[in-house]
Amino acid sequence: MAALRRLRQCASTGVGVSHLHTSSCALAKQHYKMLVLGGGTGGIAMSARMKRMLGAENVAVVESNEMHYYQPIWTLVGAGAKTLTSSGRSTASVMPSGVKWVKSKVQEINPDTNTVRTDDGNEISYEYLIVALGLQIHFEKIKGLPEGFEHPKIGSNYSIETVQKTWKALQDFKEGNAVFSFPNTLVKCAGAPQKIMYLTDAYLRKTGKRDKAKVIYNTSLPVIFGIKKYADVLWEIVKQRDLQVNLRQNLIEVRADKREAVFENLDKPGETKVLEYEMLHVTPPMGPNLVVKGSRLADEVGWLDVNKDHLQHNRYPNVFGIGDCTNLPTSKTGAAVAAQTAILNRTISKVLKNEKPDRKYDGYTSCPLVTSYNTVVLAEFDYNGQPLETFPINQAKERRLMYYMKADVMPHLYWHGLLRGLWGGPGPYRKLLHLGMK
């Protein structure tokens, strides 16, 4: 009797029940033609596109968070130019209507049986899988963190819990070192660790405190930015504004009670330097999503192993990947995800017809380098590190128009274009705009 009641309850939830345990409907087996893992940028955008291609009833998204955030605006939240509230919307509101939202965490992916197991014990099977699980941030790899964030004067734009602490530290700045770090790992939006330095400099000038501050950017990288065209202009800016850039310096410890940051010199193993700070902005070490890393879908490092042209998995042809969780050899950004959605849509439409994928991803990525409260250098480039600029003007120049685009246009393009599967990056417009100039 009890089992029958359970069965009725489960059936009334609308779950596609093909097999049922008597004890709990949490163990009900569900099946979808297209299963999307992750309801972040790539996951929501692809679910909107898959709904259009296959019908909503054939698509499900696994995501446990009740809120969806537009992370790129956190740079401006950390500098007090936008509110955190403005960066988030409920996951329910961005989920395409009719698409099944599985409100759980993915625990295990089994591509050999075409199944996924969630943290509440459900097994979901799929015909096709899109993995969009993003990357993992690792504050805990720095000694003294994350507990150090309980102290004042320290923040990080890289998480919801810490981004407002950056703004607090900036407002409370009195006198001393403003220190910014860049870890010894891949990161998402490789420009963000220094954008907040430029904004800090601008804020301190605006509030008359700049002459009491030493602004220091300690980066693990051997360059200020990976693409020479933009690096050249950034070096000029840091010189002009008296911002100290130290290369190959990696943050390994924060003694937040004493306001000390410890950096190791990556070129001289064993050599460390302790910096006292009045403000510290931490960019955490990052790495592959742990669920991807623990599955057979991972490459030897742990990233999702996909074909760089078509975004199809290299060993499992019914699996696809997008965004920060993949091993696509380009810089990890939302702008890159936008371009990838158009390519992946095309790849999947071909695979569904038993045809070969044709359109190739060129690696397009973009980083709006915010250099003050009203200027941006808009870096755009491809797999080869070649600039691939949308506008027929020199983008390696600080421009007010680009700041307006970053702060006010991009969020609209994100919520109403990208997430609805209507914005596949600026590629087509680039061609038009450049044609117009010829």
Q: Which residues bind to ligand FAD, rule: CB under 6 A?
A: 38-43, 62-65, 71-72, 74-75, 105-106, 132-134, 157-158, 188-189, 192, 289, 291, 323-325, 332-335, 337, 366, 368
Q: Which of residues 294-323 bind ligand UQ1 (CB under 6 A)?
A: none
Q: Where are the beta strands (DSSP E) in 242-399?
A: 243-246, 249-255, 260-265, 272-276, 279-281, 286-287, 319-321, 365-372, 375-381
Q: Which is nearer to ligand UQ1, 118 or 366 (CB)?
A: 366
Q: Which of residues 376-395 bind ligand UQ1 (CB under 6 A)?
A: 390
Look at residue 65 and give the partner it binds from ligand UQ1, ligand FAD, none, a contact being a CB closer than 5 to 8 Å depending on partner kind. Answer: ligand FAD
Is 367 assigned a catalytic role?
yes
Q: Residues 260 to 289: which contact ligand UQ1 by CB under 6 A?
A: none
Please identify which of the residues 10, 25, 189, 325 carries the catalytic annotation: 189
**312 vs 366 by CB, closer to ligand FAD:** 366
Structural tokens at position 244: 């100290």
CB under 5 to 8 A by kind: which of ligand UQ1, ligand FAD, none does 74 bind? ligand FAD
Question: In this structure, what is the dihedral angle of CA atoms 144, 146, 150, 154, given to the nearest 10 degrees?
Answer: 80
- CB-nearer residue toward ligand UQ1: 106 or 336: 336
**CA pair distance 374, 203, nearest whole angstrom:** 12
Number of residues that bind ligand UQ1 (CB under 6 A): 14
Of ligand UQ1, ligand FAD, none, which one does residue 75 interact with (CB within 5 to 8 Å by kind)? Answer: ligand FAD
- What distance in Å separates the CA atoms of residue 38 and residue 171, rounded to the nearest whole number? 35
| Burial of residue 62 (number of CB atoms within 10 Å: 0-12, 13-18, 19+) | buried
Candidates 111, 302, 323, 368: give the one binding ligand UQ1 (CB under 6 A).
368
38 sits in the region (left: phi over 0; alpha: psi -120 to 50; else beta) called left
**How far is 271 from 262, CA to CA, in rounded Å?**
10
- In the bound state with ligand UQ1, the residue whose beta carbon lies nearer, of 216 and 338, is 338
User: b/e string for 400-425 if b means 16 or more Cβ within 10 A?
Assistant: eebbebbbeebbebbeeebbbbebbb
Question: Which of 162, 390 has the CB closer to ligand UQ1?
Answer: 390
410 touching ligand UQ1, by CB under 6 A:
yes
Structure token pair of residue 74: 């956190």
Q: Nearer Cβ to ligand FAD, position 42 or 264?
A: 42
Catalytic residue status for 25: no
| Contact map string, positions 48 to 77, toward ligand UQ1, x by CB under 6 A | ------------------------x-----
The string of DSSP letters for 298-341 reads: B-SSSSB-B-TTT-BBSS-TTEEE-GGGB--SS-B-HHHHHHHH
Q: What are phi and psi of 433, to 5 degrees?
A: -65, -40
Q: Which does 425 bind (CB under 5 to 8 A by kind): ligand FAD, ligand UQ1, none?
A: ligand UQ1
Lookup: tokens for 296: 């057979």
> What is the binding site for ligand UQ1 (CB under 6 A)?
72, 334-335, 338, 366, 368, 390, 410, 413-414, 418, 423, 425-426
Q: Where in the sequence numbering do the catalytic residues fall?
A: 189, 367
